[in-house]
Amino acid sequence: MSLLKEKPRTEREKVEQRREEVLAQGRKFKYPMQYAKHKLVINTVLVAVVAIIAMVVAGWAMLYKFQDTGDMLYRVTQLVPVPVAKVAGEQVRYSDYLMIYRSNLLTTEQQGGQLGGEEDDNMVRERCKEAALRSAVEYAYALKLGRELGIDVSKEEIDEAFDEHRKVGGVERSEESFLKIVRDNFGMNRTEYRRMLYLTLMKAKVTQAVDDDARELAEKIEKLIQEKDGDLLAVIDGLGDAVEYQETGQLVDNLNVDGGRSEMAAKLEVGQVSERFLSTNGDGYYYVKLVEKTDTQVSHASIKIRFAEFDKMVEQLYQDGEVEEYITVGFDELMPQSEVDEAE
């Protein structure tokens, strides 16, 4: 028998206890989220994580396994700077690769039309991919060297190149009409075309900067031009494959698309040889001699010193394993192994 007895509760205490019980029950209905909030937060986080992982895996598969080149994935790569390769530690942007590939493929299809079969179509696509990936690698390496050499391309230089392209063929086009031509022929919008100009100008500057041999040969040719009294054929005698000699053989338009030679020739007097100038696509130096001209046409001879050092540097990177490609491209991938071995 217990010696301690519970003290009887008063009516007031009983009412107070009952009141708290009723209020506690009511709170569960009035504030239901208060009791389920932690579960809701956990579930939301889990769903978000699973969704993100699924999107990343799906995106990776579409880009690196199935190599989707469609509009949606292309726009994604423009927003998210994912790499398609790596060269000497420099990431190669997937968006640059797709931009070049899509443009090259459109141009090829417009020029060649239907090739007549799925195999031919696949071959063209793989060759375009192969060329686009190589170009993207070269542009990325040029950007890396440009930073190291303190070389850059300004907005003003891009604007100038853009305006020059608008005037190709001697026609003063509006920006709107020019962009329509760009879109129809290259599949690019204004931003993409300016990006392409930036990459091209950057590579041209770097290619020129690293080629000491071309610069030394140009200085030698300048002396020979003086000694040979402007006879370009006599100048190249003994120089072998280091230079290229060409003649138009007839009158061509002043604005002929030929690396800037006809445009330069139009500024000369007959028999005069120009000073050294950079080709418009940045792949070498030119010397031009005017043979004949009218108000709108010229006939000329020219010497070209092609830049080779940058190409050698890139080739060496491939040989040394300094280029890591994250996708596999090339027509050989479409052939049975036995046929690949025979081709080799």
pLDDT tens figures, 12-44: 766 677 667 766 666 555 555 555 666 777 878
Could you write out the DSSP letters of every residue in 105-122?
Answer: HHHHHHHH---SSHHHHH
What's the helix, strand, coil split of the chain in %, to 5? 60, 10, 25
Residue 279: strand, helix, or coil: coil
**Interval 85-137: pLDDT, tens:** 999 999 999 999 999 999 999 988 887 655 556 777 888 899 999 999 999 99
Q: Which amino acid is residue 210, in one-letter code?
A: V
Note the pLDDT of residue 1. 46
Task: Estimate the crossing angle of helix 94-112 against helix 71-79, to 10 degrees.
Answer: 150
pTM above 0.85, yes or no: no
* In contact, 77 and 63? CB cutoff 8 Å: yes
Note the pLDDT of residue 79. 94
Note the pLDDT of residue 127. 93
Note the pLDDT of residue 338. 46
Note the pLDDT of residue 60. 83
Residues of the chain with pLDDT under 50: 1, 333-344
Note the pLDDT of residue 23. 64
